[in-house]
Chain A
Amino acid sequence: MEIVKSGKENNLLVVKVTGRMDAVTAPEFEKQLTAWIDEGEIVFVIDFSMLEYISSAGLRSILVIAKKLKSVNGKIFLANMEESVNEVFEISGFNSIIPIFDTVQAAVRHGIAS
């Protein structure tokens, strides 16, 4: 898995995740996002266009980050998921607790407006 900053709009950080978010790699996501939150970033759009796989360990790390952001009045938006990743969010009901957008642009527009 690879996690990179791919853009910045106002106070909103766009982060691109590539590869697999599984029990081995998900802790890296949590660690990296926590480091950026500690640096003062509180609004994130996560570009999942290159994410090919997610398991409950990946969902867990996203939940941890979302809760952490809520406690500092921050926000996280997810964008551009492929079908099999989206399915995991739907089955687990995560699509109702984390806002998901079809495109990064839509998520960024929403993030800036909110």
Chain B
Amino acid sequence: MFSIQLTAKIENMEVLVQSVSSIAGKMGFTAKRIREIELAVEEALVNIINYAYPCGVGDIKITCIQEDSPRAFVIEIEDTGVAFDLLSLKDPDISADLSERQIGGLGIFLIRKLMNDVQYRRKNNRNVLTLVAYPPNET
């Protein structure tokens, strides 16, 4: 298990994302899958940075767990900000044309599409978003 906790600000995003992707690399994920994991983590972090702490600053904590049966890479992203269930958002209209197209909700949509499982829970006044990616089968 690995965990890292930093202030929720955009300057810390790269360090947080890279800490997750370096573990994913050691677990044998392909380069393409690692980018998908980075993307899901970035989208979750940007959401926290932009919306979780409207009246001040707070932290983001990421915990990475490698589970064995079944093999899974579990990424827990926590904040102590405003209660918000990402998964309650409606999917964006991805068929809208250029002039009608809105960007809101796209990050969450990408997280859902790219991860094998996504869960949200509110625990001890924390938002906990859990992203799960299944590693490639060992040969």
Contact = CB atoms under 8 A, between A and B. Distances in A.
Nearest to B31: A84
B68 interface: no
Contacts of A88: 39, 110
A interface, over-half SS? helix
Most buried by A among B32, B36, B49, B101: B101
A56 B107 contact: yes
A83 B13 contact: no
Contacts of A55: 39, 42-43, 46, 107, 110
Contacts of B35: 52-53, 84
Contacts of B109: 91-92
Contacts of B43: 55-56
Interface residues of A, number: 24
A71 to B, nearest CB: 10
Nearest to B106: A56
A8 interface: no
Most buried by B among A23, A53, A56: A56
B interface, over-half SS? helix
A53 B17 CA distance: 13
Nearest to B17: A22
Given A24-B10, A63-B103, A97 B97 contact: yes
B94 interface: yes
Interface in A73-114: 83-84, 87-88, 91-93, 96-98
A12 interface: no
A97 B107 contact: no
A70 B97 CA distance: 12
A87 B45 CA distance: 21
Given A23-B13, A59-B103, A60-B103, 15 more contacts: A53-B39, A55-B46, A55-B107, A60-B106, A63-B98, A63-B101, A66-B98, A84-B32, A87-B32, A87-B36, A91-B110, A93-B95, A96-B95, A97-B101, A98-B98
The 3 A-B residue pairs with the shortest CB-CB distance in the complex, in nearest-first order:
A93-B94, A56-B107, A56-B106
